[in-house]
Structure 1
Amino acid sequence: MTYRQTAQTMKTNSKLLPLLLLLLIGYGCSNTKYLPEGDMLYVGGEVTVQDSTLAKKQRKTMEKEMEALLRPRPNRSFLGLKFKLYMYNIAGEPTKDSGFRHWLRNKVGEPPVLFSQVDLDYNADVIQNYAENKGYYKARTSADSVSKNRRSKAMYTLSPGRQYTIRKVIFPDSTASPLDSVINRTKRRSLLRKGEPYDLGVIKDERDRIDQRLKNQGYFYFNPDYLLVRVDSTVGNYQVDLRVIVKPETPEKARQVYTINNIVIYPNYSLKNGQDSIQYPEGSVTYYKDFKIIDSARTFRPIIYDRTLFFHKGDIYNRRDHNLSLNRLVNLGTFKFVKNEFYPSDSVKNGLDAYYYFTPMPKKSLRFEILGKTNSANYNGSEANVNWMHRNAFKGAEQLTATVFGGLEVQVSGQNKGYNIYRVGGETSLIWPRFISPIHIADSSAYVPRTKATISYEYQKRIKLYALNSFRAQFGYLWKDNRHSEHQLNVGDINYVNPANVTREYLDMAYGNDTLEPNVALQRVIEKQLIFGPTYSYTFTNTMEKRRKHTFYYKGSLDLAGNLTGLIMGADAKGGDPKTLLNVQFSQFVKMEHDFRHYLKLGEGSSLASRVNIGVGMPWGNSTALPYLRQFFIGGTNSIRAFRARSIGPGSYDFRNEEGYSENSFLPDQSGDIKLELNTEYRAQLYNFIHGAVFVDAGNIWLWNEDPARPGAQISDKFLSELAVGTGVGLRLDLDFLVLRLDVAFPVRKPWREEGNRWVFDEIDFSTKTWRRENIVYNLAIGYPF
């Protein structure tokens, strides 16, 4: 843009600015002219903490927490504009209880929050109570308001004074009673500590902590309300003594330790019929170890209860075992409803009879799905899946699943138009809710460990190019340590790929002809591939904890293919001595991938999401490069969104420089042995379920060994200078159960250019049709990119 154009643009904007200001003023006034006579619009409350001894950060935290307690809340606003109130006002009073005006006023809009609804004294008392509960016993609170243009704001001032701290914590005498003795033994992990500020919230947490410890020691009928923490603030010097006691009125049964007596299981409890479904027809009762099972249909083999339930007859009641048992039962995936009740035993003193009621899911199910998909390579298509499941295949809660699928991807416009992709195939899997292993593996997790066996086949046809037959068999284990971490170990993972119907056009591109040079990367796509070996992955996440400011996701995977076999056979592909099995050269490599994501909560409805993805595959022994199925790709809707899917790299290699390339040439997928990807994205809620994003993506792939057909593709110490970078904006419709996403991106760094000329900021020109066609990429997808 020239100086003259810039000046002209500024001049035009300066003319529009007063008009925009007038519109905003008119918008604001329109929200007050509809108010009742003599009343004002309440625009919020503000709390000021006046204390020079408190750190600024501590004062701000207190003010923010107290402002959240003020009632009522003002009308919601976006960018300072109360849009919902504006909709309420312009809709006017509806003449009927339906129609557009009624919908606009009552569904989209919200009524004004009036200052007459604000009780200043009540809010001042709330602030005073907050301060005292935090140990500021000598706090003083005042309330006032300021008004302008029929808008009023409540102003509260708190002078907290000095905060009281804990001088001493006294627990019950360990010799007074068995209950007092157990409580006394919990003091080592007490939340109440000498020198810490007095805080009523911490005292409540301490009562819950002690109660949890007691529940795990058999005190079934105890609860936190039976505990009292007496506070003595007369000890002086702004200190308090805390004494933990059991209330005298605590009932006797809450002071007793209870044990498990009878364990009764109803595996076919009906939610519809309730207690009427609990019947004892002849032959319906089965005794297995400590369990009494009432199931005339013999729906499940009794051994699953022994593997799932942690309680046994004579055990002291333990809340942890109670919850673990319920979690495991739900985690089986067989029951849609699990209910547990305890009743005092008639035959054993301080005994509990445990009753378990299970409502099974339908034993068999059939699901049909039709999916639509699109990607940044201009491929659009659909896929149909038919899934059949048996949730109790061998009466041990085994899940047997069979799936058949078929799909089509078509490029309507672009260089690969006509090279459509067809996919058909099927998969059968069997999951056992236990470890099947010659080695005994102890398990005490709340989550049921699983053994999984899978067999699958897929036929993929790329029109005018080739077809691939892919067979895969896996056997392995899945288990979770807790709700944050999960493991998957496949002790056997075999993948065999056999090409078919390779066309002359593709053979010319791969092996060369009079006008084309051979392309090793394309040759590998149609080679027979035999990959076998163990794989392992570990996943950790705490993103489900919405209250955390920082949350994380990490997934690491390890793939060891053909290593032991290659060592035994002495394979050396580089030295010209590759080995084969079943007349196929098997792959030998070590591959690792690490996907780390961080989510920073910036405020209500806004966050910063970042991702680092690093992958390294090292071919050796019987391989000089990773097999095509295990190579890395980059670019596309969930990767670097400013570039077509699988079009970046490897390294600084540019397929456009290939001899014979034209705008009508087929664009092959680019793959590599090493991958680095960096993403960061600012996300903000614009309105209700509409969210926006601004993002920057960077990354590339590289080869481990040199490929003469792809110059610049090998990894080197200059790899950071070969990163592709793109940026853009996004719009998302977050419907809770579904997220629809549109991202618009463009490149700012192109790694295939010569060094020193890879940044392209000076070439960005949204007004030019040619630039837009060559650089802007639209990504329509389901779900967030990471």
Structure 2
Amino acid sequence: MSKKHSNKKTEYIRYFIALSLFFVFGCSNTKYLPEGELLYTGGSVTVKDSVIKKKERKALEKEMEGLLRPKPNKGFLGLRPKLWFYNIAGEPKKQKGFRYWLRTKVGEPPVLFSKVDLDYNASVLRNFTENRGYFKTRVSADSTAKNKRATAEYTVTPKQQYIIKSVTFPDDSLAMSRIIGRSSRRSLLKVGKPYDLDVIKAERERIDARLKEKGYYYFNPDYILAQVDSTKGDHEVKVRLVIKADAPPKALTAYKINKIIVYPNFSISKDSLKYKPEDVVQYKDFTIIDTANTFKPRVFDRAIYFKKGDLYNRKDHNLTLNRFVNLGTFSFVKNEFKPSDSLPKTLDSYYYLTLLPKKFIRVEVLGKTNSASYTGTELNVNWNNRNLFRGAELLTVSVFGGADFQLSGTNNGKNIYKVGTETSLTWPRFIVPFFHVEGSSEYVPRTKATVRYEYQNRTQLYALNSFKASYGYLWKENVRKEHQFNLMDITYVSPNHVTAEYLADAEEDESLKKVIEKQLIFGPTYTYTYTNTMQKRKKNTFYFSGEADLAGNVTGLITGANVKKNDTIKIFDVPFSQYAKFRGDFRHYLKLGKESQLASRVILGVGIPYGNSGVLPTSKQFVVGGTNSIRAFRARSLGPGSYLNTTTDNDYLPDQSGDLKLEFSTEYRAKLFSIVKGAAFIDAGNIWLMNKDPNKPGGEISKDFMKEIAVGAGVGLRFDVSFFILRTDLAFPLRKPYLPDGERWVIKDIDFGSGPWRKENLILNIAIGYPF
């Protein structure tokens, strides 16, 4: 062995010994304990029962161990680093500085065994098991001490679990008792199921929610008494639900709505309830006291679900509050119900609404980079008017501009500049009478019209003028389901200032020529989104987005473009596009632990050109590669199929696209420390052409398309700074579809020590937010 290798081996051994000493001695925290004290390292529960299945017994033990108090110091692989930091920091002399920060923020004080009350924990476990139907449970507690550490051991010996024999609901003459009886089929208490106090509590909540839908505003679950009889039968209980005799009369009364009073200009800071007689507007069932004449009365008619004479209903109550919030014009919404002075058994409903500023400006400055080695910046200035026509309409006028530079590489000097403006107007309703969505929703349906112009200049190459206009509807069924339907979606693209250099290259590469073609695209689009990812406690959550884009259908029928095979029909001297495009994006998130998950995504896209179009417009075609796609390949550089652009000798990167797309990714995510999270991922996929293109051999879809799948892998870091996530991903290819068949897997060629390999294969992606 050479001296160099021997020195390196010795150095590794030193590091290993130092690390071992740190773990063995550095984290030995017991020497810091006060005299006579023991370090509490946790408690365990053992259930002794021959009837309960082993799997259920283990689950019961784990659940009960979570009830033990206090919790021991947090550990990792048997170590307690937080306690170690607390101990080595010592007692700080002042409440600031590094030592104070290390002890109070990073460290954690020792949990002493003297703080453990064995009898209290035993009683908690006894109550828990009896609440689950294991009556007359015996619990014993003991402890073990060794090397100044102590543990607590609890043995639970339950009796046979009691089963529900019968359930009886209130049968008195009260009207509410009849309502409860009619809802008994939805009861959570089921004959033959184990007795469980938590289920009884949930049943009382269910009954209360049902009564709240029938006018019983003042009722609450505490007015329901559950009488449990365990004296008859073999380990069986009879449950009888009754209305308490001391329930107040107003709790037993169903109330109707009388007056509905709205204060649209309520202010917490001053007395805004004073008004003049001319400030009062009576509109249908509503009394509106709008001192500044801020809104048209119909705004409140659409938002408030109550009408005079309706029974109080909690669902309508909550829907109304949510609608006011979702209008986007109020910063504070308060609702109050008071017994009416004019009519018995009625409530007057008051709504106090505090306005957001009507007009505001938002400025956004963005920095960005992409896998094509472009670095740039973008400025967006948005001016907003929240109540343009006194109907809670939102007007947004935006002006934006940006630039992308490649400081070195094939595109050096060919920078991209863009500038543009966009105006949108959103109405908080559907303004077309025949368009209707069934059912009530807490989310306000909206109609939106948008006009956008953008000028993009790729220096030394070409410039593009883009005009876009859309008109459509947005609505949510609930928090999980969302729809967007654009009745009209128009795009017009016109090139100018095309350089001779680009035209020369376009003669050799048809894909470059299509970029500078005039485009006219119009037709309806529809997007449906479903997600339950907001349910943080679920182990499996999902996201799905489906899009349909149909262009030129009606126009093709009118002009005859659907049947004409040779002639291209033009509108205003521009060929219009005809195609049907569909895209589905499905994501699954598997929660592995408190700070880790496995995220997976599948994207399937299909674009079918027909009639007036032989291919999809360039702006509508699918692409792969880049920061949010297959990260081991540069943006828009992959595919279609096994095609590799080698025909042109231009100084800029190719821009590949296709009619079909298949992409899938799997990413393991876990918290490393503080704000830093790590990830390991695999991406795969490709794009293909629907029809054969002689200029792109191997690009069309075939029965062997799976052999043309690109595969990449990598690792990344995510820096979560609360208001945004900075993501860095380092990826490299595992399979290159453009290589000859049989040579496409390149795993054997991976060599991180080789400079040329790293330069050709390692791709660094920097982005904001997760890739999916």
TM bucket, shorter chain: over 0.9
Task: Quote how far apart the aligned CAs of 1:659 are.
Answer: 4.9
Task: Quote how far apart the aligned CAs of 1:542 are.
Answer: 0.8
Task: Quote how far apart the aligned CAs of 1:771 are.
Answer: 1.5
Name 1:178's counterpart in structure 2: 175
Query: 8 Å contact 2:565–2:611 — kept in the other structure?
Result: no
Letter in 2 for 1:619: P
1:660 paired to 2:649: yes
Q: Percent of aligned positions with the same letter in both sequences? A: 59
* Gap change, CA 1:733 and 1:118, over 3 Å in 2: farther
Query: 8 Å contact 2:509–2:648 — kept in the other structure?
Result: no
Tell me how far apart the structure 2 counterparts of residues 580 and 552 of structure 1 sit (CA, whole Å).
44
Task: Quote how far apart the aligned CAs of 1:12 are.
Answer: 8.4
Task: Quote how far apart the aligned CAs of 1:411 are.
Answer: 1.5
User: Gaps spanning 5+ residues in structure 1: where?
Assistant: 512-517
1:285 paired to 2:280: yes
Name 1:611's counterpart in structure 2: 601
* Gap change, CA 1:417 and 1:145, over 3 Å in 2: farther
Tell me how far apart the structure 2 counterparts of residues 255 and 595 of structure 1 sit (CA, whole Å).
51
SS in 1 for 2:31: coil
Tell me how far apart the structure 1 counterparts of residues 562 and 13 of structure 2 sit (CA, whole Å).
73
Task: Quote how far apart the aligned CAs of 1:460 are.
Answer: 0.9
Query: 8 Å contact 2:509–2:647 — kept in the other structure?
Result: no
Tell me how far apart the structure 2 counterparts of residues 763 and 734 of structure 1 sit (CA, whole Å).
35
Name 1:567's counterpart in structure 2: 557
How many residues align structurally? Answer: 768
Tell me how far apart the structure 1 counterparts of residues 316 and 578 of structure 2 sit (CA, whole Å).
46
Q: How does 1:129-208 map to 2 (within 5 A)?
A: 129-173=127-171, 176-208=173-205
Task: Quote how far apart the aligned CAs of 1:458 are.
Answer: 0.6
Name 1:298's counterpart in structure 2: 293
Task: Quote how far apart the aligned CAs of 1:223 are.
Answer: 0.3
Letter in 2 for 1:203: I
1:454 paired to 2:450: yes
Query: 8 Å contact 1:573–1:624 — kept in the other structure?
Result: no
Tell me how far apart the structure 2 counterparts of residues 121 and 251 of structure 1 sit (CA, whole Å).
40
Tell me how far apart the structure 1 counterparts of residues 88 and 512 of structure 2 sit (CA, whole Å).
63
* Gap change, CA 1:451 and 1:186, over 3 Å in 2: same
Q: How does 1:568-717 map to 2 (within 5 A)?
A: 568-571=558-561, 575-655=565-645, 657-660=646-649, 665-717=651-703
Task: Quote how far apart the aligned CAs of 1:509 are.
Answer: 1.4
Letter in 2 for 1:598: H
Tell me how far apart the structure 1 counterparts of residues 9 and 712 of structure 2 sit (CA, whole Å).
28
* Gap change, CA 1:72 and 1:540, over 3 Å in 2: same
Name 1:476's counterpart in structure 2: 472
Name 2:258's counterpart in structure 1: 261
Task: Quote how far apart the aligned CAs of 1:6 are.
Answer: 13
Letter in 2 for 1:233: S
Query: 8 Å contact 1:138–1:162 — kept in the other structure?
Result: no
SS in 1 for 2:752: coil
Tell me how far apart the structure 2 counterparts of residues 193 and 157 of structure 1 sit (CA, whole Å).
31
Task: Quote how far apart the aligned CAs of 1:621 are.
Answer: 1.0
After TM superposition, the score normalised by the length of structure 2 is 0.96
Letter in 2 for 1:192: L
Query: 8 Å contact 1:738–1:782 — kept in the other structure?
Result: yes
SS in 2 for 1:534: strand
Name 1:514's counterpart in structure 2: none
- Mean CA deviation greater in 678-687 or 495-504: 678-687
Name 1:229's counterpart in structure 2: 226
Query: 8 Å contact 2:510–2:695 — kept in the other structure?
Result: yes
Tell me how far apart the structure 2 counterparts of residues 356 and 505 of structure 1 sit (CA, whole Å).
67
Name 1:501's counterpart in structure 2: 497
1:370 paired to 2:365: yes
Tell me how far apart the structure 2 counterparts of residues 412 and 395 of structure 1 sit (CA, whole Å).
50
Tell me how far apart the structure 2 counterparts of residues 304 and 343 of structure 1 sit (CA, whole Å).
23
Letter in 2 for 1:482: N
After TM superposition, the score normalised by the length of structure 1 is 0.95
**Cα deviation per residue 1:543-595 (whole Å; 9 max; x = unaligned)?**
11111111111110000001221233232699322211111111100011111
Task: Quote how far apart the aligned CAs of 1:150 are.
Answer: 2.5
Name 1:26's counterpart in structure 2: 25
Choose from 48, 58, 61 the match for 1:60: 58
Name 1:761's counterpart in structure 2: 747
1:324 paired to 2:310: no
Task: Quote how far apart the aligned CAs of 1:445 are.
Answer: 1.3
Name 2:756's counterpart in structure 1: 770
Tell me how far apart the structure 2 counterparts of residues 7 and 252 of structure 1 sit (CA, whole Å).
90
Task: Quote how far apart the aligned CAs of 1:149 are.
Answer: 3.1
Letter in 1 for 2:189: L
Letter in 1 for 2:141: A
Query: 8 Å contact 2:523–2:551 — kept in the other structure?
Result: yes
Tell me how far apart the structure 2 counterparts of residues 114 and 323 of structure 1 sit (CA, whole Å).
48
Tell me how far apart the structure 1 counterparts of residues 399 and 46 of structure 2 sit (CA, whole Å).
65
SS in 2 for 1:554: strand
SS in 2 for 1:154: strand
Tell me how far apart the structure 2 counterparts of residues 6 and 679 of structure 1 sit (CA, whole Å).
41
Query: 8 Å contact 2:456–2:464 — kept in the other structure?
Result: yes
* Gap change, CA 1:640 and 1:150, over 3 Å in 2: farther
1:406 paired to 2:392: no
Name 2:429's counterpart in structure 1: 434
Tell me how far apart the structure 2 counterparts of residues 80 and 669 of structure 1 sit (CA, whole Å).
53
Tell me how far apart the structure 2 counterparts of residues 572 and 324 of structure 1 sit (CA, whole Å).
47
Name 1:515's counterpart in structure 2: none
Task: Quote how far apart the aligned CAs of 1:357 are.
Answer: 0.3
Tell me how far apart the structure 2 counterparts of residues 236 and 688 of structure 1 sit (CA, whole Å).
57
Name 1:547's counterpart in structure 2: 537
Letter in 2 for 1:404: V
- Mean CA deviation greater in 585-594 or 93-102: 93-102
Tell me how far apart the structure 1 counterparts of residues 713 and 400 of structure 2 sit (CA, whole Å).
36
Task: Quote how far apart the aligned CAs of 1:63 are.
Answer: 2.2
Task: Quote how far apart the aligned CAs of 1:228 are.
Answer: 1.2
Letter in 2 for 1:82: R
SS in 1 for 2:367: strand
Choose from 376, 380, 388 the match for 1:385: 380
Task: Quote how far apart the aligned CAs of 1:41 are.
Answer: 2.1
**Cα deviation per residue 1:392-422 (whole Å; 9 max; x = unaligned)?**
0000000011000001111123222222111
Name 2:45's counterpart in structure 1: 47
Name 1:103's counterpart in structure 2: 101
Aligned-pair RMSD on alpha carbons?
Answer: 2.0
**Cα deviation per residue 1:156-203 (whole Å; 9 max; x = unaligned)?**
222333222111111111x52212111111101101111111111111
Task: Quote how far apart the aligned CAs of 1:213 are.
Answer: 0.5
Tell me how far apart the structure 2 counterparts of residues 9 and 58 of structure 1 sit (CA, whole Å).
53
Query: 8 Å contact 2:27–2:81 — kept in the other structure?
Result: no
Query: 8 Å contact 2:319–2:441 — kept in the other structure?
Result: yes
Choose from 459, 463, 466 the match for 1:467: 463
Task: Quote how far apart the aligned CAs of 1:749 are.
Answer: 1.2
- Mean CA deviation greater in 199-208 or 233-242: 233-242
* Gap change, CA 1:736 and 1:753, over 3 Å in 2: same
Task: Quote how far apart the aligned CAs of 1:654 are.
Answer: 1.2
Letter in 2 for 1:155: E
Task: Quote how far apart the aligned CAs of 1:339 are.
Answer: 0.3
Choose from 504, 527, 531 the match for 1:537: 527
User: Gaps spanning 5+ residues in structure 2: where?
Assistant: none
Tell me how far apart the structure 1 counterparts of residues 757 and 21 of structure 2 sit (CA, whole Å).
37
- Mean CA deviation greater in 195-204 or 683-692: 683-692
Tell me how far apart the structure 2 counterparts of residues 98 and 602 of structure 1 sit (CA, whole Å).
38
SS in 2 for 1:320: helix
SS in 2 for 1:418: coil
- Mean CA deviation greater in 65-74 or 704-713: 65-74
Task: Quote how far apart the aligned CAs of 1:612 are.
Answer: 0.8
Task: Quote how far apart the aligned CAs of 1:138 are.
Answer: 3.5
Query: 8 Å contact 1:144–1:156 — kept in the other structure?
Result: yes
Tell me how far apart the structure 1 counterparts of residues 410 and 744 of structure 2 sit (CA, whole Å).
24
**Cα deviation per residue 1:371-407 (whole Å; 9 max; x = unaligned)?**
1111222111111111000000000000011000001
